[in-house]
Each structure stands twice: as C-alpha cells, then as structure tokens.
Amino acid sequence: MGSAAIASASCGRQQVQKPNFIVIMTDDHTMQAMSCYGGVMQTPNLDRLAREGVRMDRCYVSNALSGPSRACILTGKLSHMNGFTDNSRTFDGDQQTFPKLLHADGYQTAMIGKWHLNSAPQGFDYWSILKGQGEYYSPLFIEEDGEHVVPGYVTDIITDKAIGFLEGRDRSKPFAMLYYHKAPHRNWMPAQRHLGMFEGHTFPEPETLLDDYSGRGSAAREQEMTIARHMWPAWDLKIMTPQELEQDYARLDDTGDANADDVKRANDMSKSYSQFRDAYNRMTAEEKAKWNKTYAPRIAEYKAMEGKASPEEMVRWKYQQYMKDYCAVVHGVDENVGRLFEYLEAEGLMDNTVIIYTSDQGFFLGEHGWFDKRFMYEECERTPMLVRYPAEIPAGSVNADFAMNIDIAPTLLDYAGVKIPKDIQGRSLRPVLAGDTPRNWRDAVYYHYYEYPSWHSVKRHYGIRTERYKLIHFYNDVDEWELYDLQEDPREMHSVYDDPEYADVRRDMHRRLKKIQKQYRDDDPDENLGSWFLGADKL
Ligand code: SGN
Ligand code: CA
C-alpha cells in the first residue's frame, strides 16, 4: 500500500485512487481501416476497447494535420489559440498543457513516440520522441541526453519503450502515458513479419475512387493528393527494383526551356527515389532481401501494365497496392497494442487505467481518389476515438455526440479531479462517455486549416459541421464557399451552396458559423496565420 493510501485510510475515509491514463495515438489511422467501425481490415485489439468501452462515432479534429492536432490535444485549445497552426511552427512549450497539470497534481508523466512539435517536450518525467516524422526502420529517437538510433521496427520499439516506462514507474503514483505511434503515416512501410500479408487480397473500392470533382470548387480540383497523379513510384508504391534504386535521378533546374510541369514531375521523381533510398538503406541486408522478395511480383506486374493499362485501371491497381501496405502497417499497431494490453493485464492495470485510442486525424483511403488528409471532409475531419474505463463507461456503448480532439485534455483533468482551467476550449467528455450527455452539449464542431501553399496544395479553409449540414469557406488565394447536406449527400460530392432551395439553410449556417467563431475566439479567420514556407519539406 502506498503512503497516500495509508494516510487516507488512517483518516477513516475510503481511499479513492486516481486513475492512470494511457493515450494511444496513431498517425493518419482512419476509421475505414478499423473493424469496430465497419472498416476494411481486422483490428481485434483496438476493437477490444470498443467492445469493453465506448466507440465515439463523431469525434472531430479542428485542423486535420499532425502537429496542429497534437498541439490541440495537449492544450485543449484550437490552433489560433495555441499558436501551432501548421507543421512548420514551433510549439511554445512554455504554455499550459494537460501533462503539466497532471504532473503538478502528482502524476508520473511520459511521452513516447511521434511528437512532431519541433520543440522539446515539457511536463514529462520521461520522454523519448522520434525526430520529425520519424523512420519506420532503425528510427532515430531524441531523449534528454541526445539522439539514439534504435535498431528494429518503429511500432515495436515505441511499444518496448512504453512497456519499459511502465516497468520502471514509481508505483506509489498514478501515471499518464502518451503512447504515440508513427504508423501508419506515409510511406507505409510494414514490419518484416507483415510484408506481403495482404498479397492475393482485394480491398473493396470506395464509391468515390474515380471522382471527377465536378460539383465542388477549385480546392477539390487543384489539390495534389490523388492516387492517380501524386503518388510517388518509389516512396509510395515501392515499384522500383534494387538496381533502379542504385541509379541517380537528376533534378532538373527550371532555368532552361523545360515546362514547369515536367520540371516538377522530374524533381518529384528524384525526391521519391532519394527519400525511398534513405528509408530502404536503414534496413539490414537480411531485411532488404525479404523486402525485395516481397515487392518483386508487384514490380513485375507494374512493368507489364506500364503503357498498356488505361488511366482508370492504373488508379485501381495503385489503390490496391496502397491499401496492402497501409493495412499491413496498421496491423503492426494493432498487434503491439495487444502486447501492451497483455502487460497491463499482467500488472493488474487494465481496469484502473483510462485508455483512449485516437489518431491525429482521419485519412483518405481512396475516397475522392485521394490519399492524405487536410480537407474538412468527413474521412479526415472525423477521427477514431475509443475509450475504455470500466469503472464508469458501459461496455460496448456507441455514442454519436460531437466530440473534439480539444476535449481530451479537459476529460483527463476531470477524471484526475484536477480543476479544468477556464481558458481550455474543449469540454470534458467524462459524462458523455458514461452515457450521460449534458443537455447543453455542443451541436456543432468547428474547423480551420492553414497549411497552404504547401504539401498536397490544399487551400486554406474553415467551416462548421452541424448534425445535418457542413459549410466551408476556402480563402487566401480564393474566396469560395461549399455547403453540404450530409443527409442527402454523405460523401460530399455536390455542394448545394448556390442551390436556391438551400437559401434558408445557407443563411442559417452562415449565422451559426459566425457564432461558433465568436465562441472559439477565431475573430479574424481570414487573417494570414499560416507560417508555411515552401522548402521546409522535411517536417
Ligand atoms: C510529409 C508527407 C506528406 C504529409 C505530411 C504531413 N510527405 O511531409 O504526404 O502530408 O508529412 O503529415 S513525405 O514525402 O514525407 O511522406 S502529418 O500527418 O505529419 O501532418
Ligand atoms: Ca497525421
């Protein structure tokens, strides 16, 4: 019995133990790849959280990008308040975060895995973070004493470190551990034991795979995240032979007569090869051999199709390859989460720990013909959220109330019995998770994305999503509005912004947007807050 328990027992009061916390976060893992959400692959260990806890069906991020989402989670505040609007920012680590507040309350805190905030973590007793995006094989970790390359596979290593932290914890204190995976972020490199696990499997195609973007504005048309044209052969599709990898792909400079598109394509190609070569060379000779054996049939298939297949056939083929790699990487997460649960079971920690599973945002798995995220469309604005805490949360519950990633901080503070600071913009989900949603719960969520011009060329936008409708404003280099009736058009294929039948809805949605911007103090939403500078491409 810890000293605190002895003290309170001697006062004649029953000891109320503070729960432990584990926030499991992945990077770019979307509901469409989770069986508990009816997705295309099996995720038995993650599903356990849904089966024994609650599955949140409407959890939204407010800025579908890694660094911004992480900053929202840490602070419980939206991007314009915490200052981290896009991935080129540096997080002001001196500001208030939930790990600091828990630490001050006596929690032992740890941060393990992908951090992606460009400044050193604060408020943690232990931290071990990936540098930038991190690598799949032999990743580089930064710790207080410097940088270390750790041999092995990133998802396994992050889990080893998480279990290591728990092993060495101070058992007299509750803990809060952020267990943040890199997987399944681009470029989707599976663990050795999962290479080829989906060979022979055909994934169902999303209805909108061959979207032609009519019915929406220029943002949907001008993005650079299509499977058809923007997936890189080496980096993304792994369709290069080891011999081709040895060659150099020259970068073109744009001073000659070459047209700008050709220059861009050639330079992307060169980048795809050099980036992939760096990642590939982190594998041991034995690992490379298995890798090459796995991908040889894919390369042969590609070479047989090249120049012969129609553009449509090519997209469908690439989609299948993308899914095979993405899902194999997710499988690695699921397996490791299972390993962590085994440890928690053995230590008797499973039931006095609030376990949250989420991703930094959702992701497009071929919907609208896309990979990546960033858009305020459902596939990535929404993110998975499962929470298990048997003391309060009924097993197998499903909840469709609006949750946001800024709610995680106040929720954990609430469970810990720590006063929630007034400036936190999220709300505690504690009653919602228990099935007792307050009557004045939110009826809309807010979104604001800033990173443009930049990767994937998704224009800046903000908007509101209510029970039935979504209003989006694309701004900066354009001034375009989109309105969706999600009941009639759940795939967001036809904006009804200019449809006279929706004139009243449109007026009402504008009013609600103004109101929610006021509530969250996004006072000047068209102001240039994005700090992205072209060339900062290793973030
Ligand atoms: C990298 C990726 C992009 C991705 C961003 C942001 N390119 O730059 O495809 O959108 O990360 O992702 S890559 O060539 O490095 O794979 S985020 O989840 O970290 O915000
Ligand atoms: Ca991400």
Q: What is the pLDDT of residues 242-298, one digit of tens each?
A: 888 877 766 656 556 667 777 777 777 788 888 999 999 999 999 999 999 999 999
Class of domain 449-538: alpha beta
Cα–Cα distance measured from residue 103 to residue 82, given in angstroms and rounded to the nearest whole number: 20
Atom 11 of ligand 1 has which residue's CA nearest to it?
539
Q: DSSP code of 370?
A: B
CB 58 within 8 Å of CB 432: no
Question: Could you tell me whether strands 20-26 and 175-180 are parallel, antiparallel, or unpaired per DSSP bridges?
Answer: parallel
Atom 13 of ligand 1 has which residue's CA nearest to it?
186
Query: Which-ligand-closest: CA of 116?
Result: 1
Ligand 2 centre to CA of 358 (Å) is: 11
Long-range contacts of 6-13 (CB under 8 A, 24+ apart): none
Question: Could you tell me whether strands 54-56 and 403-404 are parallel, antiparallel, or unpaired per DSSP bridges?
Answer: unpaired
- Give the number of C-alpha atoms closer than 13 A to the C-alpha of residue 182, restricted to the C-beta side: 29
Query: Which-ligand-closest: CA of 87?
Result: 1
Ligand 2 centre to CA of 529 (Å) is: 20
* Ligand 1 atom showing the smallest separation from residue 133 Cα: 19
User: For a pocket test of ligand 1, which of 65, 91, 135, 185 has the largest count of ligand atoms closer than 8 A to its C-beta?
Assistant: 185
Quick count: other Cβ atoms within 10 Å of Cβ 90? 12
Ligand 1 centre to CA of 68 (Å) is: 13
Ligand 2 centre to CA of 39 (Å) is: 19
Cα–Cα distance measured from residue 357 to residue 332, given in angstroms and rounded to the nearest whole number: 15
Query: What integer pLDDT is reported at residue 295 of this predicted model?
Result: 98
Alpha carbon dihedral 4, 9, 15, 21, in 10-degree steps, equals 20
DSSP string covering 265-311: HHHHHHHHHHHHHHHHTTS-HHHHHHHHHHHHHHHHHHHHHTTTS-H
Ligand 1 centre to CA of 126 (Å) is: 27
Condensed to tens digits (0 to 9), the pLDDT of residues 198-232 reads: 999 999 999 999 999 999 999 999 999 999 999 99
User: For a pocket test of ligand 1, which of 226, 270, 455, 456 has the largest count of ligand atoms closer than 8 A to its C-beta?
Assistant: 455
Domain with CATH 3.30.1120.10 in the chain: 449-538
Query: What integer pLDDT is reported at residue 264 of this predicted model?
Result: 77
Question: How long is the chain?
Answer: 539
Condensed to tens digits (0 to 9), the pLDDT of residues 303-324 reads: 999 999 999 999 999 999 999 9
Cα–Cα distance measured from residue 357 to residue 75, given in angstroms and rounded to the nearest whole number: 18
Query: What integer pLDDT is reported at residue 6 of this predicted model?
Result: 37
CB 397 within 8 Å of CB 435: yes
Sign of the four-CA dihedral 168, 170, 171, 177: negative
Ligand 1 centre to CA of 537 (Å) is: 9
Ligand 2 centre to CA of 3 (Å) is: 42
Q: DSSP code of 53?
A: S
Q: What contacts 374, CB < 8 A, 6 or more positions away?
A: 64, 65, 223, 225, 380, 449, 451, 456, 458
Cα–Cα distance measured from residue 407 to residue 404, given in angstroms and rounded to the nearest whole number: 5
Provide the residue type at 132 as one letter: G
Cα–Cα distance measured from residue 97 to residue 82, given in angstroms and rounded to the nearest whole number: 10
Query: Which-ligand-closest: CA of 118?
Result: 1
* Beta pairing partners, 190: none
Ligand 1 pocket residues where CB is under 6 Å: 27-28, 65-66, 87, 116, 133, 185-187, 235, 275, 372, 455-456
Q: DSSP code of 503?
A: H
DSSP string covering 321-364: HHHHHHHHHHHHHHHHHHHHHHHHHHTT-STTEEEEEEESS---
Query: What integer pLDDT is reported at residue 310 of this predicted model?
Result: 97
User: For a pocket test of ligand 1, which of 69, 73, 117, 186 has the largest count of ligand atoms closer than 8 A to its C-beta?
Assistant: 186
N- to C-terminal Cα separation, the chain: 46
Cα–Cα distance measured from residue 359 to residue 70, given in angstroms and rounded to the nearest whole number: 10
* Beta pairing partners, 385: 56, 358
Query: Which-ligand-closest: CA of 361?
Result: 2
| Two tokens, residue 410 | 């106040």
* Ligand 1 atom showing the smallest separation from residue 373 Cα: 10
Provide the residue type at 12 as one letter: G
Cα–Cα distance measured from residue 414 to residue 419, given in angstroms and rounded to the nearest whole number: 7
Look at residue 49 and give its three-state secondary structure.
helix
Q: 318: closest CA among 306, 328, 330?
A: 306
Q: What contacts 86, CB < 8 A, 6 or more positions away?
A: 65, 67, 68, 450, 451, 454, 530, 531, 532
Query: What integer pLDDT is reported at residue 3 of this predicted model?
Result: 39
Query: What integer pLDDT is reported at residue 268 of this predicted model?
Result: 78
Residues of the chain predicted below pLDDT 50: 1-13, 530-539
The 10 Å CB-count burial string (b at 16+, else e) for 167-182 is: eebeeebbbbbbbbbb
Ligand 1 centre to CA of 456 (Å) is: 9
Ligand 2 centre to CA of 70 (Å) is: 9
* Ligand 1 atom showing the smallest separation from residue 236 Cα: 16
